[in-house]
Homo-oligomer: A and B are copies of this chain.
């Protein structure tokens, strides 16, 4: 790793104080199998709401609904009823963002992400009454409390179960939408804002349940939404310095960063993510006008462009390969070449603006040449005139991602960009979109070409459908056509509050008001 300790120290000095609020459960619920309900589970208010008065013995349980999505620390007060407790109390807590996490036994999980993400605790309490502050942070709306064992001589009763919620996103800073905004958009905006808020901790996390980590792909979208809502610029600055301060051996910015036990970069390298450092810095400067930071981080941004250009073949096209070299989207069959070409051009263009701001003539010249070379190569090498689409890879794959990114790269005349997106909807290539992250770029492309109505209809069809399916915060993965689908092999391990899904507030506040 290339460590610039001064930059890391600068990042660490920017660790924010988190705001806290204590949240109590709102109701006792039951979760029933229902083929008509989202993912097959229906949540109903239980008849008996008096959970604090309930006397519980071995095998008894109840499910608390906190009424909204929360990120924080759970505490509980429990006392014994009956004779003095003559054996430890054995409790199990199952903690979930969604009903499926409470209703489907974790033992059934067989996906490819670690089962250690499933939020559960088995606790032995030797002394009663007890006030327990669980040390881990959880992300949830529901908690199932199960009394696994007491003894024949005593039962238990809970006096309090609460969550101390944490965030670095101050809602007081979020401007209310104008009254003219309809309820539909207002609701979508507030869910998006909550999604962003719950991801805003001591960094912009991708998902507070999982992976609880700073990814640059998520950061870019979070920061864009943040500038129009919480506008916590310091937090973006901290994240930029974390990426800049700890790079991969050749100078590329890593894909993600961990904060604990001390800040350290992951060894994951993604072509598009390294380039997004430039776009993030561009957006940050646009929002903040913080030239000092721009000047300090510029050399690293410039290096990312050079590293990106190094991957070009003799034709001026980003070299493809069989590894997981570029992210773009989770689609398992997606070829990454053409969309990565789009990302490179997109970031070169933002880099050019920054070089202009800094008055760096030679850099401007270099970047301009690279833009010309890569944009021309995209049109001459990747554009299939017969198909009317950009193609990607040796199999000339036609995907949504390729069209979207090459529209965002703006390599065609304006009217051709709009027509290309029209054609995309008409012909519906089979290699579609998997994540809200990819949907974001489709919407952004539509707004960019002026297809405002199509853009809003897509938002309604995607994020609007999540709301109908009960989203308190927007999800990492969602397929309105197959609501149980998960690329991780199980809906139990999906992240139901995910950074890259927070952008409806950005679209609403940037384009719709």
A360 near B: Cβ within 8 Å?
Answer: no
- On whether the beta carbons of B127 and A114 are closer than 8 Å, the reply is no
List B contacts of A115 (CB < 8 A). 90, 148-149
- On whether the beta carbons of A260 and B90 are closer than 8 Å, the reply is no
Name 28 A/B residue pairs within 8 A (Cβ), A-sorted. A83-B267, A84-B264, A84-B265, A84-B267, A86-B211, A86-B213, A86-B266, A87-B113, A87-B116, A87-B117, A88-B114, A88-B116, A90-B115, A90-B116, A112-B152, A113-B151, A114-B149, A114-B150, A114-B151, A114-B152, A116-B149, A116-B150, A122-B122, A124-B136, A126-B136, A126-B137, A127-B261, A128-B261
CB distance from A313 to the nearest CB of B (A): 30
A73 near B: Cβ within 8 Å?
Answer: no
CB distance from A138 to the nearest CB of B (A): 11
A59 to B128, CA, bound (A): 34
Type the 1/0 row for A72-88, where 1 means its CB is closer than 8 Å to any CB of B.
00000000000110111
A258 near B: Cβ within 8 Å?
Answer: yes
CB distance from A136 to the nearest CB of B (A): 6
Chain A contact-residue range equals 35 or more
List B contacts of A86 (CB < 8 A). 211, 213, 266
A268 to B428, CA, bound (A): 76
Query: What would 18 more interface pairs be, CB under 8 Å, given A114-B152, A115-B149?
Result: A83-B266, A83-B268, A87-B116, A87-B210, A87-B211, A88-B114, A88-B116, A88-B117, A114-B151, A116-B124, A121-B124, A122-B122, A124-B136, A126-B136, A126-B137, A126-B260, A127-B260, A127-B261
A137 to B112, CA, bound (A): 36
A494 to B148, CA, bound (A): 20
List B contacts of A258 (CB < 8 A). 84
- On whether the beta carbons of A148 and B116 are closer than 8 Å, the reply is yes
A89 near B: Cβ within 8 Å?
Answer: yes
* A→B interface (CB under 8 Å): 83-84, 86-90, 112-117, 121-122, 124, 126-129, 136-137, 148-152, 210-213, 258, 260-261, 264-268
List B contacts of A148 (CB < 8 A). 115-116
A261-B129 contact given A83-B267, A88-B114, A114-B151, CB 8 Å threshold: yes
CB distance from A282 to the nearest CB of B (A): 28
A211 to B128, CA, bound (A): 15
A76 to B124, CA, bound (A): 19
- On whether the beta carbons of B151 and A116 are closer than 8 Å, the reply is yes
List B contacts of A129 (CB < 8 A). 261
- On whether the beta carbons of B112 and A89 are closer than 8 Å, the reply is no
Q: Which 10 A-B pairs have the closest CB atoms?
A: A87-B114, A90-B116, A114-B151, A88-B116, A127-B260, A116-B149, A115-B149, A114-B149, A87-B116, A84-B266
A116 to B112, CA, bound (A): 32
A127 to B267, CA, bound (A): 17
CB distance from A406 to the nearest CB of B (A): 32
List B contacts of A137 (CB < 8 A). 126
A150 to B268, CA, bound (A): 17
CB distance from A84 to the nearest CB of B (A): 5
List B contacts of A128 (CB < 8 A). 261
